[in-house]
Amino acid sequence: MVEWTEFERDTIKDIFSKIDYDVVGPAALTRCLVVYPWTRRYFGIFGALYNAEAIMGNEMVANHGKKVLHGLDRAVKNMDHIKESYCELSQLHSDQFHVDPDNFRLLADCLAIAIATQWGSAFTPDIQAAFQKFLSVVVFSLGSQYH
């Protein structure tokens, strides 16, 4: 089981209470698709993803970004049972979507960067560390049911 300090618990709750899901979710997924173009392989049905402008203007990407960000809510509410919370989603990403789990780490990095662009210096090194620790647990959990 993961051990969380009080600072880490407070930081995670604080981040998710303050971010605008409608901005950060789309921004994170957009960055992932632009910076790591191989991730586009999973979103063929989204239509135009051939360059940064197309991705940034793609409504399906934006909507999916919000959905993915809300997918973290269960981890925020249940920080002591994150792995269990993602069993089903992990199976789904493995058996149905066939996503290489190393890409979860890339999306997590893009999420940190998306928040950094919004918060500036308020996204301090300590807050970044806590957030990245939280994301690494989610990333691990999402990969846990792969076989």
Asked whether position 132 contacts other proteins by CB under 8 A, the answer is yes
Asked whether position 120 contacts other proteins by CB under 8 A, the answer is yes
Asked whether position 43 contacts other proteins by CB under 8 A, the answer is no
**Among residues 81, 116, 140, 144, the one that binds other proteins under rule CB under 8 A:** 116
Q: Which two tokens stand for residue 36?
A: 């790591």
User: Which CB sits closer to other proteins, 91 or 132?
Assistant: 132
Distance from C-alpha of 68 to C-alpha of 26, rounded to nearest angstrom: 9
Distance from C-alpha of 142 to C-alpha of 72, rounded to nearest angstrom: 11
- In the complex, the smallest distance separating the C-beta of residue 29 from other proteins, rounded to whole angstroms, is 10
16 within 8 A of 72, measured Cβ to Cβ: yes
Asked whether position 126 contacts other proteins by CB under 8 A, the answer is yes
- Name the site residues for other proteins (rule: CB under 8 A): 30-31, 34-35, 52, 55-56, 109, 112-114, 116-121, 123, 125-126, 128-129, 132-133
